[in-house]
Amino acid sequence: MLMGRRSRKRYKKVGAALRRAPSRFQCPTCGLMTLTVSIDRDVGSAVVSCSNQKCGLRATLANVPKIYQEVDIYAKFLDKFTEGSIEVVYSRGVEGDEVEG
């Protein structure tokens, strides 16, 4: 401690928080944040599925580039879903009780 001087306050350095890409997305059918994307990089395909039991949306995207992340695949899925150019299967309720839509 220095004689006759005030001691300096020490401040913590506040860094910017790193933002991560989301893992759950909004389902275009039911509107809930229950849509998940699982990627199989070896095959080059991805499965988009809604975990809401009342909705049960499932779609498969083929020819997915290896550099794509979940967010990129979700954006491609939304584009194809709004165009109507992707086959979507709805599995409501109990497993095995699938309704095509």
- What's the CATH number where 76 sits? 2.20.25.190
Let me know: does 46 contact 38? Beta carbons within 8 Å.
yes
This prediction has a pTM of 0.74
Domain count, the chain: 1
Let me know: does 24 contact 33? Beta carbons within 8 Å.
yes
Judged against a pLDDT cut of 50, whether residue 25 lies above it is answered with: yes
Identify the pLDDT of residue 97.
Answer: 47
Quick: pLDDT tens for 34-91.
Answer: 999 999 999 999 999 999 999 999 999 999 999 999 999 999 999 999 999 999 999 8
With respect to residue 7, please indicate whether it lies within any of the assigned structural domains: no
Domain of 72 in residue numbering reads as: 21-89
With respect to residue 79, please indicate whether it lies within any of the assigned structural domains: yes
- Nearest alpha-carbon partner for 59 in 31, 30, 32, 86: 86
With respect to residue 27, please indicate whether it lies within any of the assigned structural domains: yes
Identify the pLDDT of residue 95.
Answer: 47
Q: Pick the residue with more confidence: 46 or 20?
A: 46
Judged against a pLDDT cut of 60, whether residue 101 lies above it is answered with: no
